Amino acid sequence: MVNGKELSQVGYNYLGRSYDEMDCQKFIEHCLEDCGNSTDLTGSNAWYRKVIKEGWVGTPEECVRQYGQVPPGAFLFILEPVSSTTPAKYRDDGIGDATHIGLVTGIRKGAIHSSHSKGGVVESAFAGKTVPNGGWNRVGLWTKAVDYFGVDPQPGPTPTPTPTPDPKPVHETAVVSVPDHTNVITRKGPGKSYAMSKAGRIPDGDFVEIIERNESGDWCKVLWIDPRGASWVCWVKAEFLKVEGTPEPPPDPEPVPQTTYVVTVFGLNEQQAAALVQLYPNQSKWEKSIG
């Protein structure tokens, strides 16, 4: 039995992996495998129908009403009407077209998945409610294989010990620093020969996480969250990134202005004036005027 909370966290170990390396359903299978479950299906539609048979499927709002929450480790789906792009074997069963699958994390932005449009494994916003306009609209609880609520499984054969997931990798944080304070172009790969990525341009002053650097170190693969909250994985030239925490050279000390005051004391003879000077030894210059 897979622990739902552990399942929700192992996805962060793959943050930044490219979509070509790991599509949405392969991402789910890698996460399950890391937690001791080996399941190989053909896509998000196959996963959706498996969860219907071996668990529960409904809207996020229905999940909250029935279970009190959308638990970490739950599957997220985008369910759409059947269309010409729906695989033929799923067009006539009356269920619909599950075009995408991800995981509920319950932390940070709330969900993690491998996105074709964003180039790989990224986070996206999910707060336990249906995301409108083509976003997450179904929750799947695979109760046959995943323990979401801390209930001990029924006695049976000794399960394979669940490995402890690796901690979330720590990435360098950098700020985009462009000499003319405009923006920096993002690329699909480490070089100007690569096409501009769908992330577009990152404005001067925005923060990014550096996921990796190319061999020469002059390009960085970064994770950027745009003003709308969408996550993007792309490449930018290293010269436009300033790693957070790099100490600034100390500024030259400003000169302390010197003020000279002239005090005239009347009625003193020379001996009295000399005695008065001795009372103020820190003064650099005295002019005596005997009246």
Domains in the chain: ranges and CATH: 2-147 (3.90.1720), 172-243 (2.30.30.40), 262-291 (no CATH)
pLDDT of residue 227: 81
User: Strand (E) positions, the chain?
Assistant: 2-3, 56-58, 75-80, 97-104, 110-115, 120-125, 138-141, 146-147, 172-176, 183-187, 196-203, 207-213, 219-225, 231-237, 241-243
Q: Which residues of the chain have pLDDT under 50?
A: 151-160, 162-163, 168, 247, 284-291
Q: Exposure string (b/e) for 40-49, b if CB count within 10 Å is 16 or more?
A: ebebbbbbbb
pLDDT digits (tens, 9 = 90+) for 174-229: 999 988 888 999 998 999 989 898 888 999 999 999 988 998 889 999 988 888 77
Q: What is the pTM of this model?
A: 0.55
User: Do you know the residue count of the chain?
Assistant: 291
Distance of alpha carbon 82 from alpha carbon 96, whole angstroms: 5
